[in-house]
A and B are shown apart, each in its own frame.
Chain A
């Protein structure tokens, strides 16, 4: 994607706002004063060494983790203990996990229609049509009637992406979507994500796929030790990292 193409889909509408967010696991300070805004259509890649709090950060956005200080506003709704608000936000925020987390007792089709039927009250037939469309988009329509255990890792992750898309989310969160995949399957998943980016989906991806970051991201964020150390456009980020820790991290992962 060209730079122009990348900036085209971004609007001024605010999707996610994190102001002064702190989180502790017991004594351990995982997130330290996180400030982050994401606009509609923006694609953000978060990278950093393991244990730096990247996953925790995006898991706070749909309240899989609870933050203890600061505010997180998703589409104008603030995340607090209010269960109604949490459910409302989770309906609009899709998430793709490192280990897919497909429901093994349901077929791929049932995985995709479960939430639209139960949460969006969509007629079953319509839900199946929607699901089939997305399964076609991720290129596994022929696997619809199979169970997750019968698919390869790459197919499972694509099914998981389709499952998320079936809820027609406004934001997609990706938590290391390719880390559990064999090398030849990484590309098939990344291709789907690039296509999704082209369609203008707002995305936040935690990933170490730097090629992907260069291709689709509007902004790359580097985290270390629970803090956002540096953020910049990908060209600038990779060419001239400002912070020492960023330089060290990039030199380590780009060595090979």
Chain B
């Protein structure tokens, strides 16, 4: 100690003391990191500003209200080439959201089945699921999108020779055409019936719980409620004189008119993303179930619980807890992978505002910032919801 005192003057010793203190060192490192980060961001902003000035450009979002001057083949809201870039962006966001939501649902269903079947003792089923999982995980998603697109475009016939598995359903390389329901005024009765059925189902679930608590009787709540929710609107449909008509697609010229269509771009992207993410989710499901100790099943069995109840009451609630955090990543991954849509011409955010709008207006910085902002908002939204769910199902430890 005496030598240290001799070598360092007082203030330096004080600083050295702070640095050697575990708590203070942490704070000092954080402050240094923050300053470095702010400096870095500052330099980038300054650089960009100087470069833009040198090119004679300025940042502005006015262009958004100008006409986009391009067509989008799939738009769920009104859109034509005279609509603004802002509207084109909205169409892109809706298309991204549509394929993401559909993809997440289908991928979850595929993953759940494949994951459970992957645990099957049946050799054939087990091997088929194994092959699927390995193919889905090991082929780049871009190739899978191109593959599904090629399958639809090249293996399905042209519209005039289209396959028709059912009346009014036509499969061709221009898309899948199905009849579109047309609502007549009396259709409100069906909607009302649906609302009433939902309310009844909700009441019945509560009632069944009270009955159980008072008498111990179990009702098959799920079956009865499912019958209610399907049956009541169906009854209303016939009582109100079938107020829903169907608009059948008809071949006119080179393609079908009327009805609803799933475009090949959408279908290919949807299937490819679901197929790809489903393989990963299958592994999550398998891992989730395997992570639950065999003792849990044995304890449930030894209490007399049936296998399906054991799965529902004991295994799945615990497996969910293991599965949710990686599942969030899978969902986010699927949403971001949907940006590959552009390779087959599906008009998502990247294709609209981040692609054609950008090329036509030359507003690279603005378009990219908007695209980035939208993806960030969607992803943060999804993770907020999933994290909330995760907290709800997480375990209480000591």
Q: Tell whether, in the assembled complex, residue A91 and residue B317 are in contact, meaning their CB atoms are under 8 Å apart.
A: no
- A90, A97, A122, A150, most chain B CB atoms within 10 A: A90
| Pick from A90, A121, A149: contact of B303, CB under 8 Å | A90
List, in ascending order, chain A residues with CB within 8 A of B217's CB.
121
Instruction: Indicate if A147 sits at the interface (CB-CB under 8 A).
Output: yes
**In the complex, A39 Cα to B222 Cα: how many Å?**
44
Partner of A64, one of B216, B301, B313, B317: B301
Kindly state the separation between the CA atoms of A101 and B297 in the bound complex, as whole angstroms: 9
Q: Does A62 have its Cβ within 8 Å of any Cβ on chain B? A: yes
Knowing A90-B304, A94-B302, A125-B213 touch, does A103 contact B314 (C-beta < 8 A)? yes
A125 and B303 CA atoms in complex are apart in Å by 19
Contact partner of B321 among A105, A119, A121, CB < 8 A?
A: A105
Interfacial chain A residues near B309, Cβ < 8 Å:
118
Bound-state CA distance A64–B300 (Å) is: 11
One of B212, B395, B397 near A123 (C-beta < 8 A)? B212
Contacts of A87 in B (CB 8 A): 304, 306
Cβ contacts under 8 Å, B301 to chain A: 62, 64, 90
**Partner pick for A114 among B215, B303, B321, CB 8 A cutoff:** B303
**CB of A250 within 8 A of chain B?**
no
Are A101 and B293 within 8 A (Cβ)? yes
- Interface: B299 (CB within 8 A): yes
Pair A103/B296 contact, Cβ less than 8 Å: yes
Q: List residues of chain B with CB within 8 A of the CB of A170.
A: none
Interface residue B23 (Cβ < 8 Å from any Cβ of A): no
- What chain A residues lie within 8 Å of B321 (beta carbons)? 105
Distance of A76 Cα from B396 Cα, bound (Å): 43
Q: A118 and B395 in contact (CB under 8 A), knowing A101-B296, A102-B299, A167-B304?
A: no
B305 at the interface (CB under 8 A from A): yes
Flag if A105 contacts B303 (CB, 8 Å).
no
Residue of A nearest to B296 (CB): A101
Beta-carbon contacts under 8 Å, B206-220 to A: 212-218
Instruction: Tell me the minimal C-beta distance from A188 to chain B in angstroms.
Output: 19
Q: Are A62 and B306 in contact (CB under 8 A)?
A: no
Bound form: Cα–Cα A112–B214 in Å: 18
Q: Is A218 in contact with chain B by the CB < 8 A criterion?
A: no
The reply to whether A149 and B302 contact each other, CB–CB distance below 8 Å, is: no
* A93 CB within 8 Å of chain B: yes
Contact bitstring A118-149, B, C-beta under 8 A = 1, else 0: 11111111100000000000000000000101
Q: Of all chain A residues, which has the CB nearest B307?
A: A83
Instruction: Provide the residues of chain B in CB contact with A164, threshold 8 Å.
Output: 302-303
Cβ contact within 8 Å between A123 and B216: yes
A206 interface residue per 8 A CB criterion: no
Chain A, Cβ-Cβ closest to B210: A124
Q: Is the CB of B299 within 8 A of A118?
A: no
Q: Find out whether the CB atom of A117 lies under 8 angstroms from the CB atom of B295.
A: no
Whether, in the assembled complex, B318 has its beta carbon less than 8 Å from a beta carbon of chain A, the answer is: yes
Q: In the complex, A164 Cα to B314 Cα: how many Å?
A: 16
In angstroms, Cα B295 to Cα A102, docked, is 9
Between A and B, 21 residue pairs with Cβ closer than 8 Å are: A62-B302, A64-B301, A87-B306, A90-B302, A94-B303, A95-B302, A97-B298, A99-B295, A103-B300, A105-B318, A114-B305, A114-B313, A118-B305, A119-B305, A121-B217, A149-B397, A149-B398, A150-B396, A160-B299, A163-B303, A167-B304
Partner-A contacts on B (CB < 8 A) = 212-218, 293, 295-296, 298-306, 309, 313-314, 317-318, 321, 393, 395-398
